[in-house]
Amino acid sequence: MNKTFTLRHRWLSFSVAYSDLIVLCLSLLLTLLVMGCSLSIGTLNINVSHALLKLLHPDSAEPFVIETLRLPRMLMAALVGAALGCSGLVLQSMIRNPLASPDIIGITSGASAAAVCFLSFFQTVLSIEWLPVFAICGAFSASLLIYVLSWRHGVTPMRLILVGIGVSAAMGAIVTLLIAVSSESTSLTAYVWLTGSVYGASWHEVKALLVWVLVSLSLSLFFARRINAQELGDQTAVGLGIPLQSTRLSLLFLSVLMAAPAIAYAGAVSFVGLIAPHIARRFITRSFALLMPTTAFTGACLVMLADLCGRTLFQPLDIPAGVFVSAIGAPFFIYLLFRQRF
C-alpha cells in the first residue's frame, strides 16, 4: 500500500500518495523536455541554452526566433492544452462518464458558433480582438442552455451529457450554415479557427490566457474534496453533506471557465479534454489534487507536440495543431467507445 501524507489548510484538504508525487515530477520533467524541443527544432535549429543567454543581444537571428516567434507560440500551446485537459477532467469527474469532454458536451460548439458569427457579421465593424470575447460568451451561453434544458427536479449526469450532445449538434448546424452564406475569405478563416491553431500567438494573448488558467486551476482545488466525494455516486455524496446540484452547476461553469478562453485564443482544438485525463488517470490514483496538475502537464505536452509536428513535418507548410490532435484523438475515442461495450 502506497504511503501517503495529508495536507490541511483552512478550506484546502487532501491526501497525497508519495508515488503520485513522483509521477507528477516526471510529468513536469517531460513537459520541460517537450518545451525545449519545441524551442530548438524548426526551419532554424537552435541550441536553446545558448540562444536564451543571448536574448539580451538582439543583433542575431536566434534571440528573435526564440523570443518573438517560438516562445509565445510554445507557451500558448502549453496553456491551451493544460486548460482543455483540466476542463475535460472536471467534466468527466462531475458526470462520471469517461467520454465527456468540452468538445463532445457542447462547450466548444457554443464558442465555435459565436466565433463564426463574429467572423461572418461583425469582423468588418469590430476589431479582431473582439473574437475571444464572442467565443467566451458563446461557450458560457451554450453551457447555461445545456444546464437549463437538463433541469428536471435537478440535473442528472446522463441528462446533462445527452442534452449537451444535442446542443452540440445544433450549434454545429449553425456553424455550417454561417460558413455556407459567408464569403470565401471568411469561410477560410473560419475553417482554420475551427481546426485549432496557435500560429501567430503574441505575448499579449499569452499573458491574457495565463490569468484565466491560473484563476481556474486555483478554483479547482477548492472543489477537490467535493469532486472526490461525487465520483463515489450521488447518494454517497449527499450522505457526506455535499450540496449536489449547486456543486454540479459550479463544476460545469468551472469547466467552461477553463475551456472557453483556451478555445477563444487557439480555436476549437478537439479531443485534448478527452485524451489528457485518461492518460493521467493511468498513472495517478484517485486524488484529484494531483490528478489536476498531471492532467494539465499531459494536455500541454499533447498540444505542444501537435504544434511541433504541424510546423516541422510538412515544411514550408504550417499545419494547424488541431489536425494532429484530432489524428490522435479520433482513434482514442473509438477505443473508449469499444471498451465501454464490455
Closest CA to 307 of 70, 18, 141: 70
Instruction: Give residue 274's identity as a one-letter amino acid code.
Output: L
Residue indicated by cell numbers 444546464: 147
* Domains in the chain, number: 1
Question: Which burial class, exposed, middle or buried, applies to 180 when counting CB atoms under 10 A from its CB (0-12, 13-18, 19+)?
Answer: exposed
Give the DSSP H or E segment for 153.
Answer: none
Q: How far apart are CA 102 and CA 116, in angstroms?
A: 18
Cell of 302: 499533447
Per the structure, the complete domain to which residue 61 belongs is given by 4-339
- Please report, in tens digits, the pLDDT of each residue of the chain (342 residues total): 457 666 666 655 666 677 778 888 899 999 999 988 888 887 777 776 665 665 555 555 566 777 778 889 999 999 999 999 999 999 888 888 777 888 878 888 888 899 889 888 888 788 778 888 888 899 889 888 988 888 887 777 788 888 888 988 899 899 889 888 888 888 888 888 888 888 888 888 899 899 989 998 888 878 777 777 777 766 777 776 777 777 888 888 888 888 888 988 888 888 898 889 988 888 887 677 788 899 999 999 999 999 998 888 888 888 888 888 888 877 877 777 777 654
Cell of 136: 467566451
Q: What is the CATH number of the domain that holds 116?
A: 1.10.3470.10
Q: Rounded to the nearest 5 degrees, what angle is found at the Cα of 255, between the Cα atoms of 233 and 298? A: 95
Q: How far apart are CA 79 and CA 159, in angstroms?
A: 31
